[in-house]
Amino acid sequence: MRLALRLIFFVALAALGCWLWTVFFPSAEKIILKKMASLATTATFNAGDSPINRASKAASLVGYFSDDAEIVVDVTGLGSHTLGGREEIREHAYGAFATLPGLKVSFLDVTVRVGPDHQTAEVSCTGRVFVGTDKDYGVQELRFKFKQVESHWLITRVETVKTLS
């Protein structure tokens, strides 16, 4: 009986240790998944948000990108646009947050593949965007490239993915 209690105690202690390890030292995949969820929340704002709140969110949004980040968007009907560098991304973010009536961003089916060097990662997902109070939304397949810079995962490239439709 005592042996069984000791065994149960040590198994519970080992399980607690494993759980604490994953809490304090999450995998790169979990960190990037949280980063993607946080990015969607930061990019979302309502029509009633104050200009100060919108500017704050736009400034926070830029923090997800590396200095040399590139965004390449090619959407049917809207054309192709490329943003290069954090400053250009900042300018467009401030412009969008100031002029759009509202924006709701979500990323669905997020898949993370960490590179063999554990310093890079690629994320594939479906981006869904509601503008203002429209019931219609835009959907686009996206590919993000991340790089670990000074222990932070930053986006180095975002691109739309051509799908068969």
**Neighbour tally for 122: CB within 10 Å:** 15
Q: What is the DSSP letter of 47?
A: T
Q: Give the model's pLDDT for residue 19.
A: 74
pLDDT means over runs of 10, the chain (165 residues) = 77 75 80 96 92 92 95 82 92 92 94 95 94 80 95 95 74
Please give the model's pTM, rounded to 2 decimal places. 0.83
The answer to whether 102 and 116 have CB atoms below 8 angstroms apart is: no
Which has the closest alpha carbon to 157: 83, 66, 70, 72?
Answer: 70
Residue with structure tokens 């503008």? 131
Residues 6+ away with beta carbon under 8 Å from 93: 58, 61, 62
Are the C-beta atoms of 139 and 49 separated by less than 8 Å?
no
Give residue 164's pLDDT.
66
User: What pLDDT is attached to residue 157?
Assistant: 97
Contact partners, residue 57, CB within 8 Å, separation at least 6: 42, 43, 45, 49, 97
Answer yes or no: CATH 3.30.420.40 is held by domain 27-160. Answer: no
